Structure 1
């Protein structure tokens, strides 16, 4: 006999577990199916920066969606406590050298945009930045003139800790959380509505399925249906990123915030829960996108990133840090137009998709909204611009 559930969620990244959390707390019977371990995909290997400040050049609705998502995190923190969720406050700190006109113009443009959009920030001078982060060298030479932008609402998170907490909450509210349970088949009824999911040798009878499987979403759609519109409605790019994770640093060399120094390659780094550093850069991400990286090439990139970080962290023991570093690729699912794809999948009734870049920032809000849609059969206004059928240029539907 099949197990009877209200909703099957496929994928246990941050989107999938947030959906299981939201649906289970609404007393729906939920089965979360994951082909591998919880959080073993993109979520567990990303930079895990919760922010809206990096979206100032995006459309206003998309920026506001990210800002609202951060407020959703505040709600989670009030209910469950930041420590339990693995959420760390401290904000983001950008700075620029006044001798570099382009750097200063970019920083000020970001500040102007944040002001227009009503997102909290403050401008800071070198002395104020040194108070915020005593271990950071903000000036390359003594008395160098620098200016900064501090966005206190931004955060960073321990992704696996967050995922496990949300999954355990869902499990404690009668959700079935199934790891190492790959999807084998989908079945639809005579009306073209999903009716059964088979995974890990078990059948789940259901009338609603959410595909929240990141880069595996396209393969799941192919398994589900041969309707070309279904696949065309979820165009996803695979964008690699290179990150370096280090061993714990000395107490004198530790910091609390996400930092964006005046580096032409978009260097960024933050602390980790163990006291180490997590480092990335836009230019090394571009290298990963343009070539195949073997282990040695990855290691060389990691070393180069740490050399760049050492310009700003004088307490960093470069030799010891390189010895204890781990450099890896994070493969990120990014919708074709860089905006979320959330809602009913064209071509198969009862099936929804939820895939986005900046998943850790957006997932708690998107999952909350999609759970409401599944319950009420109404499209939330915040999701109207992000429907799968926008790629087909057909009217929105909620099924």
Structure 2
């Protein structure tokens, strides 16, 4: 095993200053004898991090190994926030939701039973318990409710700013508005990054660029299977505190023509409203849609008259099987990939373990299910293994043939 505190400094370049790249950079910057450069094509956090609902959770995130990874990261968030030393908007109040039909109740009971068996702090609640937790709620039809007490939310841009501040304090460099035009490859490894601001030498190249990861990896001939996953939402101006207990609340559909909503409130008083689940696809960023979301939320919550605006369309970095892609590439041994959905929840654990793998040359067992090579054949072409229906659907969307 290599030791990082040798006499020769290691040059590490990270592409991507979203919450995952910033967390990896922060963790690396705490180690000695490295020259760290973090690059972003824009200003920090303008991709998925900007549009994220930033719900910290492990709500029925199957398979079990993925559930455990998310739960592990949730447990790291308090220390992560403390190490950053800034207010990052961390609010722990739990996730509250309820369902209106017997079918949905059966599904919720099954999920809660499974999560409780794994040790997740959650429980079913009745109408009175729900009303006691959130007195402002208007509850119409009700079959059964849910309370996940440890769920939380943060403000990703504050987290990123705090990480970048620590990186600079620890001697690292951040280059915003910087494009990467070429990777300099020698004997199959990346020795330099040709950017719009010049060439930067590197011993390790980390790609944590969200939806930009495939294009950067392709500069070295590496395929990264992501699927298009747009999401949209709305945000209001400042209003008085709305929720009594919960960090966020999931509101059931008001009728068959509309989906469920999820609502959270930021520290500045603004309200964020999203539609569907955290993985739902939506590309409507019109003012009319934002007003519609607000009116639907008002069915359940006493939201005062307030201006609301669309947040724009954010594209989630969604790997083709829905699970993270993390680790060094077998094709280019000094290129480290870190791309995932649920990046806000997972940023503490990925930052911690990626820095260990990068500097200590130690593979972390908890990440073994998330290597890029699960998608690739021996020649680096994308294939899909297993019989997961999601893979079949997503592979067709991408135009890949599992059997070719």
Answer whether TM exceeds 0.5 for this pair: yes
Number of residues paired by the alignment? 367
Q: Which residue matches 1:259?
A: 249
Are the aligned partners of 2:98 and 2:250 in contact in 1 as well (CA < 8 Å)?
yes
* Partner residue in 2 for 1:91: 94
Shift in Å, 1:146:
4.8
Alignment of 1:148-187 (within 5 A): 148-187=145-184
Deviation at 1:246, TM superposition (A): 0.8
**How far does the alpha carbon of each residue in 1:337-379 deviate from its partner, in whole angstroms, 9 at most, with x for none?**
1000001123223111100011111122112111111112121
Find the counterpart in structure 2 of residue 369 from structure 1: 353
Look up the match of 1:343: 327
**Cα distance between partner residues in 2 of 1:300 and 1:347:** 47
- CA displacement, residues 82-130 of structure 1 (integer Å, 9 cap, x when unaligned): x622211111112224xx2022212212210111111111333333323
Picking from 219, 223, 242, the partner of 2:232 is: 242
- The CA RMSD over aligned residues, in Å, is 2.4
Which ranges in structure 1 are unaligned for 5 or more consecutive residues?
none
Q: CA deviation at 1:255?
A: 6.7
What is the TM-score with the length of structure 1 in the denominator?
A: 0.86
1:1-399 superposed matches below 5 A: 6-27=11-32, 28-55=34-61, 58-80=62-84, 84-97=87-100, 100-137=101-138, 139-140=139-140, 146-189=143-186, 191-223=187-219, 225=220, 227=221, 230-231=222-223, 234-251=224-241, 256-263=246-253, 265-282=259-276, 288=282, 293=284, 298-313=286-301, 315-317=302-304, 320-321=305-306, 323-393=307-377
Q: Report if aligned partners of 2:294, 2:308 keep a CA contact under 8 Å in 1.
A: no
TM-score normalised by L of structure 2: 0.85
Separation in 2, partners of 1:393, 1:49 = 35
Q: Is the 8 Å Cα contact of residues 94 and 107 (structure 1) preserved in structure 2?
A: no
Q: Greater share of helix residues, 1 or 2? A: 1
The runs of 5 or more residues in structure 2 that have no matched partner are 1-8, 380-404
CA drift at 1:184: 2.5
What per-residue deviation string (whole Å, max 9, x for no partner) do you get for residues 287-315 of structure 1?
636xxx4x6xx2222222122111110x2
| CA shift in 2, pair 1:106/1:261, >3 Å | farther
- Indicate if the aligned counterparts of 2:242 and 2:303 stay in contact, CA closer than 8 A: no
Alpha-carbon distance change, 287 to 49 in structure 1, aligned in 2, over 3 angstroms: closer
Judge conservation of contact 1:183–1:198 (CA < 8 Å) in 2. yes
